[in-house]
Amino acid sequence: MKHNILVRGARQLLTLHGPSGPRRGAALNNLGIIADGAVLAVNGIISSVGPSRRVENLAGARDAIEINATGRVVMPGFIDSHTHLISGPPPLLDIRRQAVTEIEQTMAAVRAVRSAPARSLEFQARRMLQACTRHGTTTLESKSGYGLDDSTELKILRVLAEIDQNPINVVSTFFGAHITPPEFNKNRDAYLEWVQTTFMPKVAGRKLARFAGVQCTPTGFSIDSARTYLQAARRLGLIPKVHAEQTAQPGGIRLAVEMDAASADGLNYATSGDADLLGGSGVIATVLPADFSLGAADRPAPARLLIDHGAALAIASGFHHGKMPGYNMQHIVSIACKELNLTAAEAISAATINGAHAIRSDGRCGSLQFGKDADLIILNVADYREIPYYSGVNLVSTTMRRGEVIYKESEVTWEPPK
């Protein structure tokens, strides 16, 4: 049963309210802050946002359940727009000496996911969602791509559909163009032909994914092959996403712009010319701040360059069991500030409203505005600029999804001996 919920007394209420469209340039620093702010949610939808004195006197607030946020920051829940929830088990190698290639690691993950029962994959994915919830993520995107055959890709996408809204929103990407599976003996053209003509129509017809992703890297696919794949996806109603310029192989960003992709992800090797292309397009530039720190990339993404050239920047965790096993978006904000030279406000915008644009969900989430889902978090800090100073620390006091409290920190129960 839904109730009216009033979150009141926030020392800083970060609404992210602003012009329609993703944040670019100086607008990334505009968090729409209301001092002593309040949010009123009715039946899971935001009804009013403003100063506490005004909102708490509205008719809908009179019988609302109150949540006191005095002295704390209240902001939209994080939008993690690039994850691999189902990507096999951790490799269990000495992290200092992982002497396996990317292809070997990927194929090991594919074998593990293929052999795992759907129930086991669902159990593991639900555990990850709960962990993300505790750390303030209220919407995330997750990809398939670790089955690469008919039955396993369907198994992954069905699991993602099953866990959607339990407890947070999960948006699925069909990542069939990840890497060539062993059955095709590196015959990429034959594999893509099978995906486009036989399997992708099943995914689209059963509405198991909203997006179709392709990896434009030497271990993935060429620009021409990726273009053919994305054209087929668009004909079936799937929205393109491109893993672009993650290596020195050029052309992925240009392809993303050409195909009007929702996002171009990775971008570690993006140039000034690439940044200009993104700045003049509606494609969201999604970078993964942790990939360089954790050794999944050999250089950090040029986030500052992208912003300065007008690109709409989003940041995401890139969570992956074997490559980037981090899902705490507070930590991603911290890395973005410390290593990619973003301001705290830029990083928060990139992790909320621009992340929502990267998965075409900005009409529902990413900011605290009338008519959007009441997805918000309360943080144990008095000023948003404190967030990046903490590294790996969970600052979340409360997570709310569609007006329901889905996480609340517990108290330490230890008492001194008498």
Q: What is the pTM assigned to this prediction?
A: 0.96
- Whole-angstrom distance, CA of residue 11 vs CA of residue 172: 35
What's the CA gap between 285 and 279, in Å, rounded? Answer: 9
* Selection from 181, 271, 278, 261 nearest residue 226 by Cα: 261
In which residue ranges of the chain is pLDDT below 70?
1-2, 92-100
**Collapsed DSSP state (helix, strand, coil) of residue 70:** strand
The Cα–Cα gap between 76 and 377 comes to: 6
Domain with CATH 3.20.20.140 in the chain: 78-358
Hey, CA dihedral for 99, 100, 101, 106, is it positive or negative?
A: negative
**Residue-wise pLDDT tens digits, 124-165:** 999 999 999 999 999 999 999 999 999 999 999 999 999 999
Q: Which residue has the tokens 């696919």?
A: 221
Q: Which helix (H) or strand (E) holds 41?
A: strand 33-42
The CATH 2.30.40.10 portion of the chain extends over: 5-77+370-408
Select from 293, 388, 303 the least CA-distant residue to 340: 303
Q: Does CATH number 3.90.190.20 belong to domain 5-77+370-408?
A: no
pLDDT of residue 92: 64
pLDDT of residue 416: 83
pLDDT score for 414 = 82
Given a contact cutoff of 8 angstroms between Cβ atoms, the answer to whether 15 and 41 are in contact is no
What region does 278 belong to: left with phi over 0, alpha with psi -120 to 50, or beta?
alpha
Quick one: pLDDT at residue 90?
79
Condensed to tens digits (0 to 9), the pLDDT of residues 80-134 reads 999 999 999 877 655 555 556 778 888 999 999 999 999 999 999 999 999 999 9
Give pairs for 304-309: CB < 8 Å, separation 24+.
304/340, 304/341, 304/342, 305/270, 305/272, 305/275, 306/267, 306/270, 306/275, 306/278, 306/279, 307/24, 307/25, 307/28, 307/342, 307/346, 308/25, 308/275, 309/272, 309/275, 309/276, 309/278, 309/279
N- to C-terminal Cα distance for the chain? 43
Q: Which fold has domain 78-358?
A: TIM Barrel (3.20.20)
- Distance, in Å, from the CA atom of 201 to the CA atom of 232, rounded to the nearest integer, reads 9
Q: What tokens were used for 323?
A: 């490559």
**pLDDT on residue 99:** 59
* CA atoms in the 13 A half-sphere facing the CB of 285: 33
